[in-house]
Protein backbone atom coordinates (compact mmCIF):
# COMPACT_ATOMS: atom_id res chain seq x y z
CA UNK A 1 0.00 0.00 0.00
CA UNK A 2 2.94 2.34 0.61
CA UNK A 3 3.86 2.04 -3.05
CA UNK A 4 0.34 3.07 -4.07
CA UNK A 5 0.49 6.12 -1.79
CA UNK A 6 3.82 7.10 -3.34
CA UNK A 7 2.38 6.75 -6.85
CA UNK A 8 -0.61 8.89 -5.85
CA UNK A 9 1.70 11.56 -4.45
CA UNK A 10 3.86 11.58 -7.58
CA UNK A 11 0.72 11.63 -9.73
CA UNK A 12 -0.56 14.70 -7.90
CA UNK A 13 2.75 16.47 -8.37
CA UNK A 14 2.83 15.65 -12.08
CA UNK A 15 -0.73 16.84 -12.61
CA UNK A 16 -0.20 19.99 -10.56
CA UNK A 17 2.98 21.11 -12.27
CA UNK A 18 2.15 20.11 -15.86
CA UNK A 19 -1.58 20.75 -16.34
CA UNK A 20 -2.54 22.55 -13.10
CA UNK A 21 -4.98 19.79 -12.10
CA UNK A 22 -5.42 17.44 -9.14
CA UNK A 23 -6.19 13.74 -8.75
CA UNK A 24 -9.92 14.26 -9.32
CA UNK A 25 -9.24 14.52 -13.07
CA UNK A 26 -8.64 10.76 -12.98
CA UNK A 27 -12.40 10.39 -12.67
CA UNK A 28 -13.13 9.19 -9.15
CA UNK A 29 -16.44 11.07 -9.11
CA UNK A 30 -19.43 10.99 -9.31
CA UNK A 31 -19.16 7.96 -7.04
CA UNK A 32 -22.41 6.11 -8.00
CA UNK A 33 -21.59 6.31 -11.71
CA UNK A 34 -17.98 5.24 -11.15
CA UNK A 35 -19.01 2.29 -8.98
CA UNK A 36 -21.34 1.13 -11.75
CA UNK A 37 -18.53 1.44 -14.29
CA UNK A 38 -16.15 -0.43 -12.00
CA UNK A 39 -18.49 -3.41 -11.67
CA UNK A 40 -19.43 -3.32 -15.35
CA UNK A 41 -15.72 -3.60 -16.12
CA UNK A 42 -15.34 -6.58 -13.80
CA UNK A 43 -18.38 -8.38 -15.23
CA UNK A 44 -17.41 -7.73 -18.86
CA UNK A 45 -13.90 -9.12 -18.46
CA UNK A 46 -15.08 -12.08 -16.39
CA UNK A 47 -17.51 -12.99 -19.18
CA UNK A 48 -14.81 -12.62 -21.83
CA UNK A 49 -12.44 -14.78 -19.78
CA UNK A 50 -15.09 -17.48 -19.49
CA UNK A 51 -15.55 -17.37 -23.27
CA UNK A 52 -11.78 -17.72 -23.67
CA UNK A 53 -11.79 -20.69 -21.28
CA UNK A 54 -14.56 -22.35 -23.31
CA UNK A 55 -12.61 -21.71 -26.53
CA UNK A 56 -9.44 -23.12 -24.97
CA UNK A 57 -11.36 -26.16 -23.77
CA UNK A 58 -12.61 -26.81 -27.30
CA UNK A 59 -9.30 -26.07 -29.03
CA UNK A 60 -7.01 -27.99 -26.69
CA UNK A 61 -9.56 -30.58 -25.50
CA UNK A 62 -8.96 -29.57 -21.89
CA UNK A 63 -9.98 -31.87 -19.07
CA UNK A 64 -10.66 -29.85 -15.93
CA UNK A 65 -10.46 -30.87 -12.30
CA UNK A 66 -12.10 -28.93 -9.49
CA UNK A 67 -9.74 -27.72 -6.78
CA UNK A 68 -10.71 -29.14 -3.40
CA UNK A 69 -8.55 -26.52 -1.68
CA UNK A 70 -10.74 -23.63 -2.85
CA UNK A 71 -12.24 -21.52 -0.07
CA UNK A 72 -13.82 -18.10 0.31
CA UNK A 73 -10.88 -17.02 2.44
CA UNK A 74 -8.44 -17.99 -0.31
CA UNK A 75 -10.59 -16.23 -2.89
CA UNK A 76 -10.77 -13.10 -0.73
CA UNK A 77 -7.01 -13.04 -0.29
CA UNK A 78 -6.54 -13.34 -4.04
CA UNK A 79 -9.00 -10.50 -4.73
CA UNK A 80 -7.14 -8.21 -2.32
CA UNK A 81 -3.78 -9.13 -3.85
CA UNK A 82 -4.92 -8.57 -7.43
CA UNK A 83 -6.75 -5.36 -6.52
CA UNK A 84 -3.54 -3.87 -5.13
CA UNK A 85 -1.57 -5.12 -8.13
CA UNK A 86 -3.93 -3.74 -10.78
CA UNK A 87 -4.42 -0.45 -8.92
CA UNK A 88 -0.66 0.04 -8.92
CA UNK A 89 -0.38 -0.71 -12.64
CA UNK A 90 -3.39 1.38 -13.60
CA UNK A 91 -2.19 4.40 -11.66
CA UNK A 92 1.07 4.16 -13.59
CA UNK A 93 -0.20 3.32 -17.08
CA UNK A 94 -3.76 4.69 -17.06
CA UNK A 95 -3.48 7.46 -14.52
CA UNK A 96 -1.79 10.85 -14.42
CA UNK A 97 0.73 10.07 -17.15
CA UNK A 98 -1.96 9.01 -19.62
CA UNK A 99 -4.05 12.06 -18.74
CA UNK A 100 -1.08 14.36 -19.37
CA UNK A 101 -0.17 12.58 -22.62
CA UNK A 102 -3.73 12.93 -23.90
CA UNK A 103 -3.83 16.61 -23.01
CA UNK A 104 -0.41 17.37 -24.51
CA UNK A 105 -0.29 15.04 -27.52
CA UNK A 106 -3.90 14.06 -28.17
CA UNK A 107 -5.87 10.89 -27.37
CA UNK A 108 -4.55 8.70 -30.19
CA UNK A 109 -0.88 9.23 -29.37
CA UNK A 110 -1.55 9.07 -25.63
CA UNK A 111 -3.39 5.77 -25.92
CA UNK A 112 -0.71 4.31 -28.21
CA UNK A 113 2.17 5.31 -25.91
CA UNK A 114 0.34 3.92 -22.88
CA UNK A 115 -0.23 0.61 -24.68
CA UNK A 116 3.39 0.35 -25.82
CA UNK A 117 4.67 1.04 -22.31
CA UNK A 118 2.24 -1.51 -20.86
CA UNK A 119 3.44 -4.17 -23.28
CA UNK A 120 7.13 -3.51 -22.60
CA UNK A 121 6.50 -3.48 -18.84
CA UNK A 122 5.19 -7.04 -19.01
CA UNK A 123 8.45 -8.27 -20.49
CA UNK A 124 10.00 -7.46 -17.14
CA UNK A 125 7.08 -8.33 -14.86
CA UNK A 126 6.89 -11.78 -16.50
CA UNK A 127 10.66 -12.22 -16.17
CA UNK A 128 11.17 -12.83 -19.88
CA UNK A 129 14.80 -11.76 -19.75
CA UNK A 130 15.66 -14.29 -17.06
CA UNK A 131 17.42 -17.13 -18.84
CA UNK A 132 17.02 -17.88 -22.53
CA UNK A 133 15.38 -15.06 -24.49
CA UNK A 134 12.69 -16.29 -26.88
CA UNK A 135 11.91 -13.62 -29.45
CA UNK A 136 8.57 -15.10 -30.51
CA UNK A 137 7.39 -15.13 -26.91
CA UNK A 138 8.55 -11.53 -26.44
CA UNK A 139 6.50 -10.52 -29.47
CA UNK A 140 3.48 -12.48 -28.27
CA UNK A 141 3.54 -10.97 -24.77
CA UNK A 142 4.03 -7.47 -26.18
CA UNK A 143 1.07 -7.86 -28.54
CA UNK A 144 -1.29 -9.49 -26.03
CA UNK A 145 -0.61 -7.15 -23.13
CA UNK A 146 -0.11 -4.14 -25.37
CA UNK A 147 -3.45 -4.60 -27.11
CA UNK A 148 -5.21 -5.10 -23.79
CA UNK A 149 -3.48 -1.97 -22.52
CA UNK A 150 -4.69 -0.20 -25.66
CA UNK A 151 -8.29 -1.21 -24.95
CA UNK A 152 -8.10 -0.15 -21.31
CA UNK A 153 -6.44 3.17 -22.18
CA UNK A 154 -9.25 3.70 -24.69
CA UNK A 155 -11.73 3.05 -21.89
CA UNK A 156 -9.95 5.67 -19.77
CA UNK A 157 -10.24 8.29 -22.51
CA UNK A 158 -13.84 7.47 -23.45
CA UNK A 159 -15.15 7.36 -19.86
CA UNK A 160 -12.85 10.16 -18.64
CA UNK A 161 -12.00 7.95 -15.70
CA UNK A 162 -9.55 5.36 -14.43
CA UNK A 163 -12.36 3.41 -12.76
CA UNK A 164 -13.82 1.30 -15.59
CA UNK A 165 -10.40 0.16 -16.87
CA UNK A 166 -9.44 -0.61 -13.27
CA UNK A 167 -12.50 -2.85 -12.96
CA UNK A 168 -11.68 -4.47 -16.29
CA UNK A 169 -8.11 -5.16 -15.24
CA UNK A 170 -9.21 -6.64 -11.92
CA UNK A 171 -11.95 -8.71 -13.54
CA UNK A 172 -9.56 -10.16 -16.11
CA UNK A 173 -6.75 -10.99 -13.69
CA UNK A 174 -9.07 -12.40 -11.03
CA UNK A 175 -11.04 -14.52 -13.50
CA UNK A 176 -7.79 -15.83 -14.96
CA UNK A 177 -6.65 -16.83 -11.48
CA UNK A 178 -9.69 -19.08 -11.11
CA UNK A 179 -8.76 -21.28 -14.08
CA UNK A 180 -5.20 -20.65 -15.21
CA UNK A 181 -1.77 -20.86 -13.54
CA UNK A 182 -0.54 -17.63 -12.02
CA UNK A 183 1.56 -16.45 -9.11
CA UNK A 184 0.95 -16.16 -6.24
CA UNK A 185 -2.71 -17.09 -6.84
CA UNK A 186 -3.73 -19.29 -9.76
CA UNK A 187 -5.92 -22.29 -10.65
CA UNK A 188 -8.02 -21.43 -7.61
CA UNK A 189 -11.24 -23.08 -8.75
CA UNK A 190 -10.24 -25.48 -11.53
CA UNK A 191 -7.03 -26.75 -13.09
CA UNK A 192 -6.28 -28.47 -16.38
CA UNK A 193 -5.24 -32.09 -15.91
CA UNK A 194 -5.19 -33.17 -19.55
CA UNK A 195 -4.88 -31.48 -22.93
CA UNK A 196 -4.28 -32.29 -26.59
CA UNK A 197 -1.17 -31.01 -28.37
CA UNK A 198 -1.72 -28.68 -31.32
CA UNK A 199 0.73 -27.90 -34.12
CA UNK A 200 2.87 -24.81 -33.57
CA UNK A 201 1.42 -22.91 -36.52
CA UNK A 202 -2.20 -23.57 -35.60
CA UNK A 203 -1.51 -22.81 -31.95
CA UNK A 204 0.15 -19.49 -32.79
CA UNK A 205 -2.79 -18.47 -34.98
CA UNK A 206 -5.24 -19.34 -32.20
CA UNK A 207 -3.27 -17.40 -29.59
CA UNK A 208 -3.00 -14.29 -31.74
CA UNK A 209 -6.70 -14.49 -32.64
CA UNK A 210 -7.56 -14.36 -28.93
CA UNK A 211 -5.07 -11.54 -28.40
CA UNK A 212 -6.85 -9.43 -31.02
CA UNK A 213 -10.50 -10.39 -30.48
CA UNK A 214 -10.72 -9.82 -26.72
CA UNK A 215 -9.39 -6.22 -26.72
CA UNK A 216 -11.48 -5.49 -29.82
CA UNK A 217 -14.63 -6.59 -27.99
CA UNK A 218 -13.67 -4.42 -25.02
CA UNK A 219 -13.32 -1.39 -27.29
CA UNK A 220 -16.64 -2.09 -29.00
CA UNK A 221 -18.36 -2.30 -25.60
CA UNK A 222 -16.77 0.96 -24.43
CA UNK A 223 -17.64 2.71 -27.69
CA UNK A 224 -21.34 1.90 -27.43
CA UNK A 225 -21.43 2.46 -23.66
CA UNK A 226 -20.10 5.99 -24.03
CA UNK A 227 -21.48 6.83 -27.48
CA UNK A 228 -24.27 9.14 -26.36
CA UNK A 229 -23.47 9.70 -22.70
CA UNK A 230 -19.83 10.72 -22.19
CA UNK A 231 -17.66 13.35 -23.87
CA UNK A 232 -14.18 12.03 -24.65
CA UNK A 233 -11.17 13.18 -22.67
CA UNK A 234 -9.12 15.39 -24.98
**pLDDT of 23-48, one tens digit each?**
999 999 999 999 999 999 999 999 99
Give the model's pLDDT for residue 141.
95
DSSP track, 208-234: HHHHHHHHHHHHHHHHHHHTTT-PPP-
**pLDDT of 74-101, one tens digit each?**
999 999 999 999 999 999 999 999 999 9
Mean pLDDT of 190-217: 94
pTM score: 0.94
Q: d(Cα 160, Cα 68) in Å, to the nearest integer?
A: 42
Mean pLDDT of 96-112: 97
Give the model's pLDDT for residue 55.
97
In 3D space, the residue among 209, 208, 210, 205 whose CA is nearest the CA of residue 53 turns out to be 210
Mean pLDDT of 142-163: 98
Amino acid sequence: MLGILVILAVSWLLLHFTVKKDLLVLGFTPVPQRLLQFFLGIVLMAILLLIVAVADTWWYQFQWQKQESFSLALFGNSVWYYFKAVLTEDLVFRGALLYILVKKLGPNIGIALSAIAFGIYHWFSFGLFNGEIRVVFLIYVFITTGLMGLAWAYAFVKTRSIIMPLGMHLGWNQAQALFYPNQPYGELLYKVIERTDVSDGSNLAFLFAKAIIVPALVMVFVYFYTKNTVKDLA
